[in-house]
Structure 1
Amino acid sequence: MDSLTQIVLGAAVGEAVLGKKVGNKAMLWGAIAGTIPDLDTLAGNFLDPITAIEIHRGISHSILFSIGMAPLLGWLISKLYYKTKEATWQQWSWLFFWGLVTHPLLDAHTTWGTQLFWPFDLRLAYQNIFVIDPLYTLPFLVCVILAMRLPRTSEKRKRVNTLGLILSSSYLVITLLLKGVTYFKFTTALDNQNINYTKIDTRPAPFNSLLWSANIDASNHYLLADYSIFDTQSISFIKVPKQHQLLDKVEDKKALSRLITISEGWYAVSKKGEQLYFNDLRFGAYDIYADTLNFAFSYKLVETKNGLTIEEPQRNSEEMKTVLGNLWNRIWGN
């Protein structure tokens, strides 16, 4: 999830664990704990693009990392507040453990997922919430701010903070139910249109849980579709050629294999002039009804003497305004 959401979650967890003893300091350090796992993005600045993608949401998003870092951070903070002795290092460690581990637990609900069980090569991705979802974050944020303004021993403070945790968790459950409903809608439409397919992958569209997208593997091509819970017309499917054969000319097969693994096999190749683009379909296209499909994660493949490198095409701000406008209109049905 986005940084603000992880800060809010970390603050609420910190309050639940230690707020009554140390007050707003629990929220502060909980918020900090909630941001620590995403520091792996800083390491990515010193690595090649493929490796940077591979390590994101890796070790720092694992249970093992949370178990290992929590006692160290707890000990350091206990030394910082050694004069007040409001909490023991074990209590601070417990706060940091929950602040660290709830971060990847939430990330597991997004499309990218997380390697919660690192070093095992298993990425959990339930794909039931977009990485930025105001309906998850804003009510949660309001509850945290209200709780922050109340005395630490106040029962109302505890109730308000608990309400935020309940609302956010309930919303996740609702999105899981919506995922099930929309999955049924997509598969029913495929059956009604006598479309043969081998795999289907569904996820919410950006910034909401009302509009859902689907990728369908149909042999030598993919089908893309979307469905809003307000739709009144039948689901239509957009054909996207896989064109995997275009990658035969790429010499750096090892780097290419790593990129394919990252995409979990959901990729299509496009060509503009002589330039090849690797499109990771898991994150969808900006507008599947546009004349030219532009994918959210589209990598320009550049072969150099040092091997294959990838570059992300520059996004046009004016085009993004149009995309967001189309998305807003599509949410409310066809």
Structure 2
Amino acid sequence: MDSLTQIVLGAAVGEAVLGKKVGNKAMLYGAIAGTIPDLDIFYSHFTDTVTALETHRGFTHSIFFSILFAPIFGWIVSRYETYKIFKGWSLLFFWCFITHPILDANTTWGTQLFWPLDYRIAFKNIFVIDPLYTLPFIVFLMLATFQKKEAPKRRFYNKIGLIVSSSYLLITFALKGISYIQFERALKNQQIDYFQIETKPAPFNTVLWTANVDIKDYYLIGHYSFFDKNPIHFEAYPKNHELLGDLIHDEKMQRMISISKGWYSITKKDDLLFYNDLRFGLLSLDPKTTNFAFQYSINTDELNNVSFIEVAKNRDDGKLLLNNLWERLKGN
């Protein structure tokens, strides 16, 4: 999830663990702990694109990291804070560390919760930024902040925030299941044979959902809103895997394909090949666009070594996507 959401979650969890004993400091340290796992992003500045993608949400988002580093941070804080109980601080850091990747596991990118096992958990039931999850959480956390540490209302507000956010997260699983059924029904009604289907929420909401469908030489992408009145329309995008030629056997290319779980297409512009990770969809709902959210230029040197460079996004794409989403969310 986004940094703000992880800060709020960490603060609420810190409050639940130690708020009664240390007051707002529990929220402060919880917020800090909630951001620590995402510091792995800095590693991307010192390595290549493929390795950075492989390691993101890896070690620092694992159970192993939580168990190993919680007592270290707990010991450090207990050395200089007035509250000296090592166990209390260790529990705060552990629960803040572990809830961070558990929440991230609900997104499309997922987490390697069981690192060093090379297995990424991704339930794909919530977008990385979802105001319906975060905003109520912030409100209840703020209400708790202004209460004295011993006040029953402080614990009540924090508990309600955790219950509301967690309940919404559970509801998104049901919404994902309903949308999945609708996509399957649409494919059956349109007599479309497919190998695999993957669903996820559209950005910033859980009313509009997206499906990627594998149909041999093409991928179909369709959208379904709970306000839809007309049948789901699927747009076809060619895989173009043959454009890779011998590059398909390159070690980095194989790693990139593994990262995207096989959901990728290749496009060609001005003799340059681009790798499109289909898991994160397009930057527009315009059926004519091939502007994917995560697109990488494929570069080779004189020794045919392959490297990837992410194509930069611009603000105009973001504004257009928001307008498209709002219109499509209201139904077709």
Provide the TM-score with structure 2 as the length reference: 0.97
Residue equivalent to 1:228 = 225
* Aligned residue among 69, 87, 90 for 1:90: 87
Asked if the contact 1:252–1:308 (Cα under 8 Å) also holds between the matched residues in 2, the reply is: no
- Correspondence for 1:115: 112
Amino acid at match of 1:118: W
After TM superposition, give the deviation of residue 290 of structure 1 in Å.
Answer: 3.5
Is 2:51 the counterpart of 1:54?
Answer: no
Match of 2:174 among 154, 177, 180: 177
Task: Judge conservation of contact 1:238–1:288 (CA < 8 Å) in 2.
Answer: no
Task: Report the Cα distance in structure 2 between the residues aligned to 1:323 and 1:96, rounded to whole angstroms.
Answer: 38
Distance across 1 between alignment mates of 2:313 and 2:91: 42
Deviation of 1:315 (Å): 2.2
Structure-2 residue corresponding to 1:319: 317
Please state how far the C-alpha of 1:178 moved relative to its aligned partner.
Answer: 0.3
Query: SS at the partner of 2:279?
Result: strand
Conserved 8 A contact 2:12-2:141: yes
SS at match of 1:113: coil
Corresponding position of 1:4: 4
**Residue 45 of structure 1: aligned partner:** 45
Question: Among 271, 280, 284, which residue is 1:283 paired with?
Answer: 280
| 1:225–1:288 Cα contact (<8 Å) kept | no
Separation in structure 2 between the aligned mates of residue 110 and residue 132 of structure 1, nearest angstrom:
9
The residue number in structure 1 matching 2:240 is 243
User: 1:314 Cα deviation (Å)?
Assistant: 2.6
Tell me the CA shift for residue 171 of structure 1.
Answer: 0.5
CA displacement 1:135-160 (0-9 Å, x = unmatched): 00000011111101100000000000
Of 147, 159, 162, 1:165 maps to: 162
Deviation at 1:251, TM superposition (A): 7.6
Tell me, yes or no, if the aligned pair for 2:284 and 2:317 is still in contact at 8 Å.
no
Residue in 2 that maps onto 1:16: 16
Are the structure 2 counterparts of residues 332 and 88 from structure 1 closer, same or farther at C-alpha, using a change threshold of 3 Å? same
Q: How does 1:202-213 map to 2 (within 5 A)?
A: 202-213=199-210
Distance in 2 between the 1:257 and 1:193 partners?
A: 34
Report the count of equivalent residues: 331
Query: Which whole-Å CA distance do the structure 1 matches of 2:53 and 2:253 have between them?
Result: 13
What is the CA–CA distance in structure 1 between the aligned matches of 2:78 and 2:116, rounded to whole Å? 30
Letter of the 1:298 partner, please give it.
Q
Query: For 2:30 and 2:166, how far apart are their aligned partners in 1?
Result: 18
Alignment match, 1:75: 75
1:65 matched residue in structure 2 = 65
Structure 2 CA distance for aligned equivalents of residues 142 and 22 of structure 1: 21
Q: 1:3-41 CA distances to partner (integer Å, 9 max, x unpaired)?
A: 000000000000000100010110011111110000000
- The answer on whether the counterparts of 1:22 and 1:87 sit within 8 Å (CA) in structure 2 is no
**Deviation per CA, 1:308-333, whole angstroms, max 9, x where unpaired?**
11112232322331221111111111
Identity of aligned residues (%): 55
Q: Give yes or no for contact 2:285–2:324 (8 Å, CA) kept in 1.
A: no
Contact 2:195 2:215 in 1 (8 A): yes
Structure 2, gaps ≥5 residues long: none
Unaligned runs of 5+ in 1: none
TM-score, normalised via structure 1 length: 0.97
1:142 lines up with 2:139 in the alignment = yes
CA distance in structure 2 between the partners assigned to 1:236 and 1:138 by the alignment: 32
**Contact 2:15-2:27 at 8 Å conserved across structures:** yes
- 1:103 and 2:100 matched: yes
Aligned to 1:128: 125
- Tell me the CA shift for residue 252 of structure 1: 6.9
Task: Identify which of 304, 328, 331 aligns with 1:330.
Answer: 328
**CA deviation string 1:219-251 (max 9, x = no partner):** 111111000000111001111111111111428
Distance 1:214 1:13 in 2: 34
Letter in 2 for 1:18: L
| 1:139 maps to amino acid | P
